[in-house]
Amino acid sequence: MKAYHTYSAIDVAYVLLEQAAKQGKQFTNLQIQKLVYVCHGVSLAHFDRPLILEDVHAWKYGPVVPSVYFNFKQYGADFISEHSEVQLDVASQKIVCQVIEVLGHYSGPQLVELTHRSGSPWHQVWNDNGFKIIPDEIIKNHYALIKESGFTNCL
């Protein structure tokens, strides 16, 4: 039996940054928000378990994990230069690597567009009156449909 763990969203963000650096890539706060969210969705769909401990919120520019946003807020639109030696279980590490492989070249605005699509979890819960939590069940169902379709380039 494989051991799966749930992590803080900031730890997942640091692993994304570390793996990106190994591939010569860098991410902004906007990009890291969307990529943490996608990793979480893939984990829910593939392993039926959350990757992150925190809730994902629907904000104006898409899915956001507030702790990650505020941790990297000082970078604004600049690339994040922080790194940490965080370790994930093997399956979670593979998710991070896959997400970077598929979406690591997307800009922040492209990731916003991707996560704002009609029918997306963000689209299902967003309203102009304020922030809402995007339930894991909605995220899981969305990424399960993507998994079943075989369109991994549409994570």
Q: Tens digit of pLDDT per residue, the chain (155 long)?
A: 456 789 999 999 999 999 999 999 999 999 999 999 999 999 999 999 999 999 999 998 899 999 999 999 999 999 999 888 899 999 999 999 999 999 999 999 999 999 999 999 999 999 776 679 999 999 999 999 988 887 554 45
Share of the chain above pLDDT 70, in %: 92
- The answer to whether 63 and 32 have CB atoms below 8 angstroms apart is no
Cα distance between residue 44 and residue 48, in whole Å: 5
Report pTM: 0.93
Number of Cβ atoms within 10 Å of the Cβ of 57:
20
- The answer to whether 79 and 27 have CB atoms below 8 angstroms apart is yes
Give the DSSP letter string of 79-101: BP---------HHHHHHHHHHHH
